[in-house]
Every structure is written in C-alpha cells, then in structure tokens.
Structure 1
Amino acid sequence: MLDKRIVDLRSDQLEGVRAKNVKEHFEKQYKMGSLLGSGGFGSVFSGQRISDGLQVAIKQISRDRIQQWASLPGTAIKVPMEIALLLRLGGESGSLPGHRGIIRMLDWFEMQGQGYLIVFEKPQHCQDLFDFITERGALEEPIAQRFFRQVIEALQFCHSKGIVHRDIKDENILVDTRTGDIKIIDFGSGALLKDSIYTDFEGTRVYSPPEWILQQCYSARPLTVWSLGVLLFDMVCGDIPFERDADIVQGAPSFTKRISKECQSLIHWCLAYRPEDRPSLEQILQHPWMMESTDDIGDLQAESNIKPSL
C-alpha cells in the first residue's frame, strides 16, 4: 500500500515561494506534443509555450501515483512533493535563483481529478547520460571527471536547500552534447534532507546501498555517495557494477576496463560497505583523481562530440 504522507513545509523551507491560487488553464498557455518517455514516474511529453514558441518538456503525473504530498506555506494548497522540491530549487520563472546543473521547472498545473502537469525547460542538443554512454561506450576519464564534478556540485546545491534526490543514475542526467554541461532531472523520488534515518525508498534498486538491501533503512548522504560510486563506475566502464542484490551486498566491483588507480580508489571509497566509511561530497571533490588537470579534454572531445564550454 502506498504511503501517502503529507509534509507541512515551513515558510523558511520555501523562502520566497508564493503559492499560485489562480492559474490559467493549461491549454491556454501550452501545446502538448509527442510522448518522449514513460515509466513509474509518469509520462513526459514534448511541448511548446504558446506565448513565445519556447520548446518545453511536460511531465504528467497521475494522482494515484503520488506518494508524498506537501502543504505550501501559508496556504491550504497541497501539492506533490516533487513540485514542492522543485519550487525550493528555484522553479518557475522569476522566483528563486536555481542552479545550472539542475533542470528548471517553469510551471505546474493541477488537472482536477486526474493529476498534475509539470512544465520543464527543455535544453537543446541534449541526451541522457544512459544514451550517451550506450552510443559512445565507456567515457575517457577526463570527460567522466568533468561530468562527475558537475553532478557533485549540483547535489551540493540540493543539499544546501535541504533536498536529497535519492535517484541519481545515468538516466537522470542530461548531457549537452555541444558543451559537455549536465543537468540533473527527475526529483520524483526526492525528499527533504534530514539527519535521521529514512525507511522509504523509491529510487533505482541497482543504485541502492547494502544497508537498504539488508535493513531497509539508510541515511541520505551515504546513500547519495554510494549511488555516485555506481555512477562513476558506469561512466568509466560503460555499465553499472551490480545487477543483483548479492552483488550489492558484496560491494566488490570488477573493473572491465583499464581504469587508473586513482579512479578505482575513488570508486572503492564511494562504495565502502559501511556508510560511515564513505566520503562526503566535499571529500570527493578533494580526492586526487578529482584534482587532476583536464587541460587535455579538448583532444578527447573531438572523439566524443563534445566541445568545451565557453
């Protein structure tokens, strides 16, 4: 049975966010296009903003799929937790400043009796990291390092806003194939960040840590770091390290490519069996592999169809 909890967000948790009590009808503002993808999170469609022709992505969520709700401060309005988290991260034009590494919500609509529509920016020349790796194979370490650094910095921003993503994986990272810039997407499994233990998890099992597999509980930061270890392995080896629960619990990835000792060291540290033995996000950024120069990335980008950012 779904745990449909309602979380009351204090005004300081959504500082600067005002609930919109009156909304124009969706069809007056946007045109819905073709289906881009679907899954347990809902369905995503292409779309267009009528006022200026801006290309957008529209996520459709059925009411019966929503597991956590949040009360917006100062109102009786209850919205899916995902919308509340996106508002706090800088959603909707003209509200809080966001982060370049996090997808921006432009608008949201309640469809009476059906569910919700969330309108997102739709960056051009992007594909998710899963497809990027599928097409190109394992990434060269300088490119993996560049992507990994951006993911960590975006997650630091999330944590500074009191939010944990809980589903970091290649499918939830968009790559701009021209610049090499990334954006984290899909906060449908996200939650408010807390120091106490979590006993619910709606993320991707093959990215989850041993403590969830064995004990059905975890702390937010070590969970995040474990998933980052799986992600980094995926980038440099071309596939995830674990497919079965037994492999996750064993926590001993087998490197299928020639990977530098420094990179292997960071992956092993992130995949430490005990949560308290894993690094913090700040410690990851200070690891020797992360400190290596990427001045030669331009040569590698020609092979991977990535041009340097300006």
Structure 2
Amino acid sequence: MIMGSRISVCRSKRKTACVIEKYEVVPEVENQYLAQEEVRRRSLDSEGDARSLTRLYDIGENLSRIGQNKVYSGVRISDGAPIAVKKLLKKKVVAWGELTGKPVPLEICLLDKLKHITGVIKMLDYFEDYDCFNVVMERPDPVADLDCVINQRGLMDEPTARRLFRQIVNVVINIMTAGVVHRCIIAKNILVDQAGFIRLINFGYGAFLKNNVFDTLPGDALYHPPEWIQHKKYHPRSTTVWTLGIILYFMMHATMPFRTSDSILNDKPWLLSNLSPELKILINRCLSKGTLERIKLEQIPRNYWMNIGYDSSCRDEISRHCSRVSFNEYVDVEDMG
C-alpha cells in the first residue's frame, strides 16, 4: 500500500493576515497572482522550476486526487528514494504565505516550518510552474493510512493503540509548540508505516496558531466538536482534543462514536465493556461536551492510561516538554462573544 492513495483533501477558505518569523500570509495575494500571471508564464520557460523537477525526480503514476489537486508517485533520480509529488493548482489555493521573498501556498510555508518535527511528513523540495506548485515529499513504502489500517484489521488491542496514540499526541503538541494548527486531524491524514511509526500529512487546512477563536472549521463533519455545531467558532486546542478523542475511539471500536450533529450534541459515546477503566476515562474526558470539562491537550501525555508500560524517564521527558507549552486559552467558547 502506498501513501498517495490514502491522502484526503483539506482546503481552507480562510485568508488571515499573520506574520510568524519569515512567513507572511497575504490576504490579497490572489489578485497579485492574477496581475502577474503573464509575467510568470513567460519567466517559467524551459529552464524554469518545472523542468528542474523532472531533472531531479522521475515522476510516475497518478496516485490520488485531493480535491482539484493530484498526487503522483515517483523516485529521486540520484538515489532511487521513493517520493510523492503533490500538485497545488494556483487557481485553487485559498491561503497564501511568503517564503524566501516569494508568495507560495500557505501549505508550503507550514511544511517548511515543521520540517524538524518527527512525525510530520517531510517536504523535500517544491517547484513552481506557471499554473501550479509541485510539492515533493517523502513517501514511506509500504505505508497505509490509519483509516485503512483499522478498516482492514478491525479493533486494536490497547498496547497497539497506546503506541500509536502516544505518537499522534506528541506530534500534535510539537506542531502547536511551533505555532501551527493542523485543523484536519482525521484517521485518513495519519500514515502508519510498516514499523508502526506515524506521519501526519495534508496540511492544506493548516494555519498559524493564534490565541483567539477560529470561525472556520474544514474537514470531516464527523470529527466536528459540539462548540462548532452550536456557535460556529472554536478554540484550536480544545477542538484538537475532541478530534483526538474521536481517533482514539475509532481505533478501539472500528466505528465512529457519533453519526449526526444531534448525536454529537446530545449523546454519550458507547464504549465496549472490555475496555480498561482507565481507557474509558480518557475517551470520555476527550469527548466531554463542554470545553471547560474536556481534558487539556497538555494533560493527555500525563494521563495514566497513556503511560502504562512506559518507564518514568519517558513520563519525565513528556512532562518537561509539556511544561514548555503555553496553554492559556481555556475559557468557554460562549464567553468569547
């Protein structure tokens, strides 16, 4: 199984002005692209980025379609390493940033910012063509997304789920520490390789983290939290905890806890009787309806169930890491006005 067949689309309709280090989200950059289209078309000739791509990489078959964007398999010519190429059509990009002084899709900015984080899919390079950007990424092989893994093998045992969930929580905390929120953490956007290590993919809905609420929430509606359904706004960290709870539930039950907006608002998740009491507590705390009652993101790595079978040195390292993260947003979303 290969990566591209399991990538799902995440696109954001939000355009936000924000500066973080060398990246700048430019609200009117789409108009800028329209004005410069002919100049770019002329400048990207046979010696441009598109031809550089084919000199360095052998591009193969189309693996998948992500909305209007396609993902291709390929190999790096120099060493034969497997790669994937995601083609981002300029006319479909709705969030732009700036990198090395040039406007690029915000997804490229985020991948560049997160390149040091273990568990995030690695962007190896990117190339601009007159109508698109070609994003070259690592391609673990063999690999499957978490949704496929669960649908094929069924229920997970708790030690296996714990190992995967610890990795997922760790990478989520790390990207937020770096000032980024993914906003589409679903099973299809989590790859699992043959050794059991995860990669978080598809940052098309990603954004720079901010301290106030967000008012757009893309992605799968089955992962949406009650506060979004009720108020159409949310805190990124408390909403991320909710989606992590959905993923943990899915790993243990091979089905989703809620099927409609009404059930998200009103129903308690049904839990298998053979789950350990500690796991039931963690799932219920992640899926608490109220944001104030929900477990905090930085508390999850310290949870008792998360550390069963792991020695104290692992727990101490997690505690030191979480102590460096600022989580001061936790007020009820209704109080934000």
Shift of 1:10: 3.9
Structure 2 gaps, min length 5: 1-11, 25-43, 312-337
User: What SS class does the counterpart of residue 5 from structure 1 fall into?
Assistant: coil
- Residue 191 (structure 2) pairs with residue 174 (structure 1): yes
Shift of 1:183: 1.1
Q: Which of 241, 244, 252 lines up with 1:236 in the alignment?
A: 252
User: What SS class does the counterpart of residue 148 from structure 2 fall into?
Assistant: helix
Measured in 2, the distance between the counterparts of 1:157 and 1:86 equals 13
Q: Which of 100, 113, 116 lines up with 1:88 in the alignment?
A: 113
* 1:1-310 correspondence runs (5 A): 3=13, 5=15, 7-11=17-21, 23=49, 25-40=52-67, 42-72=69-99, 75=101, 77-90=102-115, 98-112=116-130, 114-177=131-194, 179-256=195-272, 258-293=274-309
Shift of 1:264: 1.2
**CA RMSD between the two structures:** 2.2
Measured in 2, the distance between the counterparts of 1:257 and 1:211 equals 29
For the pair shown, the structure with the greater C-alpha radius of gyration is 2
User: What SS class does the counterpart of residue 292 from structure 2 fall into?
Assistant: helix
Shift of 1:140: 0.4
Measured in 2, the distance between the counterparts of 1:134 and 1:286 equals 29
Shift of 1:108: 1.0
Task: List per-residue Cα deviations over 1:190-213 (Å, max 9, x = no partner).
Answer: 110111010112222111111112
Task: List per-residue Cα deviations over 1:22-73 (Å, max 9, x = no partner).
Answer: 8463222222211222233722211111222221011112223212111236
Q: Percent identity?
A: 35
User: What SS class does the counterpart of residue 64 from structure 2 fall into?
Assistant: strand
Residues 150 and 254, structure 2, Cα contact 8 Å, conserved in 1: yes
Task: List per-residue Cα deviations over 1:132-186 (Å, max 9, x = no partner).
Answer: 1111101101100110000011111101110011111111111122x21111111
User: What SS class does the counterpart of residue 59 from structure 2 fall into?
Assistant: strand
TM-score (ref. length: structure 2)? 0.77
Which amino acid in structure 1 is aligned with residue 71 of structure 2? V
Residues 198 and 217, structure 1, Cα contact 8 Å, conserved in 2: yes
RCO (CA 8 Å, sep 6+): is it higher in 1 or 2?
2
What corresponds to 2:29 in structure 1?
A: none
Residues 226 and 271, structure 1, Cα contact 8 Å, conserved in 2: yes
**What is the number of residues matched between the two proteins?**
277
Is the alpha carbon distance of 1:41 and 1:88 closer, same or farther for their aligned partners in structure 2, counting shifts above 3 Å?
Answer: farther
**Higher fraction of helix:** 2
Shift of 1:271: 0.8
Which amino acid in structure 2 is aligned with residue 101 of structure 1? G
Measured in 1, the distance between the counterparts of 2:176 and 2:68 equals 22
